[in-house]
Structure 1
Amino acid sequence: MRDWFLLVVSSVLKKEKMRIIQLTDIHINKVGEETYGIDIRKNFQEALEVILIHEPDLLVISGDLCLFAPDVSIYQWIYEQLKNYSLPYELMIGNHDDLEMMQSLFPSISKDVKEKSLYYTRTFGDENIIFLDSGRGTIEENQLIWLQKELEKHPSTKIIFIHYPPFLAGVPFMDNKYPLLTRDGIQKVLLDHQKPISLFTGHYHVEKTLRRQNVDQNITPSTYYQLDGAVPDFKVHSKKRGYRMIDVLEEEVRSMVFYY
């Protein structure tokens, strides 16, 4: 009930500058692929409907579009769903994705591919938003150099999207088993920037926010299932489906998670 109340309230609040919806870890299955009793495709279709009440300016799907192994048929299905809406969107790479397959269905992303990685800046009005590629579980040196230059060129940048959280999050199973392997480099670039940055990530299948000096790291829940963030072994905590609404204001960034 609380989430639906907030959903309605958020739809009538005055938006300032820009509103973004983040979906992450949608994990769409191939036809006939085992999904442990969860209708993943329906979850995604319902998400695309329910987010419209927020009147977003942009949809970001921040990685892990595929359930397990990437498959062209999955990207084809996602494309067919997205084309039913006029909402602009950005697609990102997760550890269950394949860049070449994505390019075959979404050729417009090719302009942002650098050395077989998908990272870039988008400008919306006077806001520059950075999208990073951590799909291999690492951030390569050339991407770090690019990121540092982008932050120097656009010091007012407030928002960065990345699939893997750059900072360990106090979620034992994911921190120990599936963390970003090259954390030190990106942490240094972000912290040396000193100006406030809001990171929006996924990968962990939990909702969690932490602050490290000038950086707020916001982990967004999956539209598939949520993990128990307190235990060292794999354990599904909930089959609630989540997404994040991000409001870009003049001097700050605010966000709120909803479950549907």
Structure 2
Amino acid sequence: MLLAQMTDLHIKGNGKLAYNRVDTVKFVKDTVQHINHFMPKIDAVIISGDLTDNGTMAEYEYTKSLLNQLNMPYYVVPGNHDQRKNLYDGFRENNCFMSGSYIHYSIDDFPLRLIGLDTLVEQKPHGYLPSSSLNWLDKQLNEQPEKPTLIFMHHPPFKTGIEHMDVQNLLNAEEFIKLIDKHSCVKQVACGHVHRAIQTVINSTVYSIAPNAAHATVLNLGFNAQPCFTLEPPALQLFRLDEKNKLTSHISYIGHFDGPHPYFNSQGQLIE
């Protein structure tokens, strides 16, 4: 199975530039085309929050029109820039949303089980999973303890070293990690929010943050760093589950680059 992760689209009303500089609509269009033409074919796409910049219904309708150009199913969860009810209303036809106060759901249609978690705290930058959400997740994982599972959500439960982002990640990270440690079926927890490709291992489970297809947070690991973004080459994260249920992740850059160039000549010799 091959899975793609998009994150932090930040689509604004009428296709306006984000932060008066970032053409997020173009980046999403380019990413959709990149995914559609990727070989071998990508089976599904997960989108880990901040689909829009302000959470208006007009923004969700526009975002949906862009994402509906994907040639495979896609699944979304909210981020801190989203509005839960509007996202639910805008995408319920495309996703397997459950009824309730939070947008949590599981997808069992693939060899890799996908569980989407809603970490949104309305009008706040940080994330949180209340006891009801943790209990729901625990129950879901207990139902299929042998099936390899990937959890996707917006707020990462670990510190990255980017100080101004770390203060607005998942507030009850220790509680969440303690739950994950009970379930060996969880192969990876895939997050967004930070706008950089970052990965760590906590107690044998891989936790990752996807790169952004638009603007990236400046990689400043010093104290009191100013919150700034940069327009680095856009990318997305891919997950490959092999026939032995081993999960591998890759970064795929979006755009046209020089190459491909062969390593070997027509006689099979390494080109110097």
Bin the TM-score by the shorter chain: 0.7 to 0.9
Q: Which residue of 1 aligns with 2:50?
A: 64
Contact 1:158 / 1:253 at 8 angstroms: preserved in 2? no
Question: In 2 relative to 1, CA 257–73 (structure 1 residues): closer, same or farther, beyond 3 Å?
Answer: same
1:256 equivalent to 2:250? Answer yes
Question: In 2 relative to 1, CA 49–196 (structure 1 residues): closer, same or farther, beyond 3 Å?
Answer: same
Contact 2:52 / 2:63 at 8 angstroms: preserved in 1? no
Q: Shift of the alpha carbon at 1:72? A: 0.9
Q: Shift of the alpha carbon at 1:184? A: 2.1
Q: Shift of the alpha carbon at 1:114? A: 4.5
Q: Which residue of 2 aligns with 1:113?
A: 98
* Partners of 2:218 and 2:70 in 1: CA distance: 33
TM-score (norm 1): 0.85
Question: In 2 relative to 1, CA 76–158 (structure 1 residues): closer, same or farther, beyond 3 Å?
Answer: same
Residues 102-181 of structure 1: pairs in structure 2 closer than 5 A: 102-108=87-93, 112-136=97-121, 137-156=127-146, 157-176=148-167, 178-181=168-171
How many equivalent residue pairs?
A: 241
Contact 2:8 / 2:195 at 8 angstroms: preserved in 1? yes
Residues 23-34 of structure 1: pairs in structure 2 closer than 5 A: 23-31=6-14, 33-34=16-17
Once the two structures are overlaid, the 10-residue window that deviates more, 73-82 or 188-197, is: 188-197
Q: Shift of the alpha carbon at 1:126? A: 4.1
Deviations 1:85-133 (A, max 9, x none): 3311111111111122123322336863343211111112443221111
Question: In 2 relative to 1, CA 110–228 (structure 1 residues): closer, same or farther, beyond 3 Å?
Answer: closer
Contact 2:11 / 2:52 at 8 angstroms: preserved in 1? yes
Contact 2:74 / 2:94 at 8 angstroms: preserved in 1? no
TM-score (norm 2): 0.82
Q: Which residue identity does 1:245 align to in structure 2?
A: L
1:192 equivalent to 2:185? Answer no
1:91 equivalent to 2:91? Answer no
The root-mean-square deviation of aligned C-alpha atoms, in Å, is 2.0
Question: In 2 relative to 1, CA 233–95 (structure 1 residues): closer, same or farther, beyond 3 Å?
Answer: same
Larger Rg: 2
* Partners of 1:110 and 1:245 in 2: CA distance: 20
Q: Which has the higher helix share?
A: 1
Q: Which residue of 1 aligns with 2:192?
A: 202
Unaligned regions of 5+ residues in structure 1, if any? 1-17
Q: 1:245 aligns with which of 238, 247, 251?
A: 238
Taking every aligned residue pair, what percent have the same amino acid on both sides? 23
